[in-house]
A and B are shown apart, each in its own frame.
Chain A
């Protein structure tokens, strides 16, 4: 065994037949293995310690607010720094609605682009399009925000919102004066920002689907669309869900571009035209000037809630991937 695997074995410095040396090498290798194991374990554990430490520090700093407001913090909507009354419901609402809106817009677009790039696009088209999509992911969010303020919001205000108001104004979703900025603008900018993530990861997942899957489906007489649907998408679904949740995670935590476009009004409304506020935005906006312990505690509690929300989303994602992955992988149709 040692002769086969040892690196020095072929160098001629040692003869594998001498037992003591083999023992020494074995011991050294065992030592090396153990060292490697310990180092990686330390790396793994330090991550756990970091997350736990972060949570502990946040709970400690948020304690004045946790004790003072209790559950009311997440069930009431009065956010008044002057009177030191804090209720974070509008921020939770804004974070969830803007992220879900972004997913609603980005998933069809991102998945569609990924399917095109991995299944249908001519070879010459793939690299440049893939490169451009990945370039979108590299643009800093403040640039998205500025583009949003100066291009997207005026465009929404002058064209999109009046048109939506005229045609679909009977729905509560599209009522109210067109400001340009608001939930719709925030959802749109988030969608644009998460599309490259969803596309890039989905494309990798689809490319990893074995060729034999497609060939088998085609051999059974499936059309192109049937092959993609039955043999490719179904095979890669857990990876695709992972891609979508990566996008969702980014949307939940995105701060700068959303802050610049959502209008920053802590209001809960069904209309997408109305300004809203997100958890990340309120922290970014008010943290620098929060002087009292209670105010600071309330902002940190918002951060803590965001952490919990992200954990919950990730947990659900895991559960979803797990339950989907467990399902039958054989094609029954």
Chain B
């Protein structure tokens, strides 16, 4: 924790030094952002690549969590924020100006487990909700057996593991459970931290994964990217169309494409339990937050140009880092949105 902060601090200092160190002839622009940790790998890749194209612009991004990102952009202490869960109407109202949510990539959350031999398992939404309610307590429960014929399910307690720290991953997960289980919506609800009816808490993806790996009979949820990179088993989940879908980058993009049809103009849409034959049901956009009315013309221009680049050229870096790219119709909608970002009423986006 401290060492990461130290590294971030040193990087900031370096960035600042490089910004002020050079002469006015090559004056550089430092754009500050803060927020979600989940998209941090792709964002840092983007800032890196973008700095090569546009020599003048440097980004400084602090991955302090979605909540912190929302607080800081509302207080205008950063030039852009980032969040994994959309801001509520109340939060938007308390901001000093109109805030845009700009989707950047799509992520997914997977169910991982630890059983002898790690067989490929399938779950229905109802089973998952009941496991997390603590109602299904054994692996050889008749309902789990029903959807997994042939799998070797031991007579062992299910040790539920959830995130203990507030996180966007948790938000996506409980948003899904709330959609598929009215009881979950009523008793637990949605949030980056909730009152869990059952289970142990692990800190971060690595905490949950470590706990699952070390506990026979454990079951938990982690980000798709984290599960793939660490070779964790990931369950197939039955989607709205009734098919069991494996979590992959393709099935995650399908979820986004399916939801794009009914995309609201402010992009605040939940992709969980999305319709569509091949849609993986536990997916979500992650957003950057920018003010419609930019307070600084030069910075504002740099931000919209970057966002334009991220929605087009930047998408090719997504798959390597195990995020799903934005579906084409959503990119079109983002283009329209970016044209509205303005400085003193004049649009900032150069003709593309």
Contacts and interface: CB of A to CB of B under 8 A. Distances in A.
Does A pair with B? yes
B65 interface: yes
Contact of A82 (B66, B71, B191, B207): B191
A255 B164 CA distance: 13
B200 A265 contact: yes
Given A150-B210, A291-B91, A263 B200 contact: yes
A260 B70 contact: no
B326 interface: no
Greatest chain B CB density within 10 A among A79, A142, A260 is at A260
A149 B206 CA distance: 10
Interface stretch (A9-17, A60-68, A173-181): A173-181
A212 interface: no
A46 interface: no
Nearest to A85: B195
Given A179-B200, A264-B203, A149 B68 contact: no
A157 interface: yes
B66 A289 contact: yes
Contacts of B201: 263-265, 275, 277, 285
A256 B201 CA distance: 14
Interface residues of A, number: 35
A181 B164 CA distance: 13
A264 B214 CA distance: 17
Interface in A265-295: 265, 275, 277, 281, 284-291
A260 B3 contact: no
B199 interface: yes
Interface string B195-221: 110011111000100110011000000
A314 interface: no
B207 A149 contact: yes
A286 B201 CA distance: 12
B242 interface: no
Nearest to B214: A154
Interface string A152-192: 01100100000000000000000001011100000000000
B172 to A, nearest CB: 13
B165 interface: yes
Interface string A41-82: 000000000000000000000000000000000000011111
A140 interface: yes
Contact of A265 (B68, B196, B207, B215): B196
B207 A290 contact: no
Contacts of B190: 82
A242 B217 CA distance: 45
Interface string B174-207: 0000000000000011111111100111110001
Contact of A288 (B65, B164, B200): B65
B164 A289 contact: no
A87 to B, nearest CB: 11
Contact of B157 (A78, A177, A259, A290): A177
Contacts of A142: 1, 3
A285 to B, nearest CB: 4
A1 interface: no
> Chain B, interface size: which category?
35 or more
Nearest to B218: A179
A78 B200 CA distance: 17
Nearest to A259: B203
B211 A288 contact: no
A159 B202 CA distance: 22
Contacts of B194: 80-82
B309 to A, nearest CB: 28
Contacts of A220: none
A88 to B, nearest CB: 13
Given A82-B189, A180-B214, A265-B196, A286 B165 contact: yes
Contacts of A277: 201
B166 A289 contact: yes
B167 interface: yes
B211 A78 contact: no
A288 B91 contact: no
A288 B215 contact: no
Interface in B78-96: 91
A119 B167 CA distance: 52
B276 interface: no
A83 interface: yes
Contacts of A289: 65-68, 165-167, 192-193
B64 interface: yes
A93 B196 CA distance: 19
B195 A288 contact: no
A35 to B, nearest CB: 35
Contacts of B166: 81, 285-290
A259 B194 CA distance: 17
B35 to A, nearest CB: 10
A290 B68 CA distance: 8
B247 to A, nearest CB: 24
Nearest to B71: A291
Contacts of A154: 214
Interface of A: 78-83, 140, 142, 149-150, 153-154, 157, 177, 179-181, 255-256, 259-260, 263-265, 275, 277, 281, 284-291
24 contacts: A80-B194, A81-B166, A82-B189, A82-B194, A83-B189, A83-B195, A149-B210, A149-B211, A150-B214, A153-B214, A154-B214, A157-B214, A157-B215, A179-B200, A180-B214, A255-B1, A264-B201, A265-B201, A284-B165, A289-B67, A289-B165, A290-B67, A291-B71, A291-B192
Given A265-B200, A288-B68, 15 more contacts: A81-B166, A81-B194, A81-B195, A149-B214, A157-B214, A179-B200, A259-B203, A263-B200, A264-B200, A275-B200, A285-B164, A285-B165, A288-B165, A289-B166, A290-B67
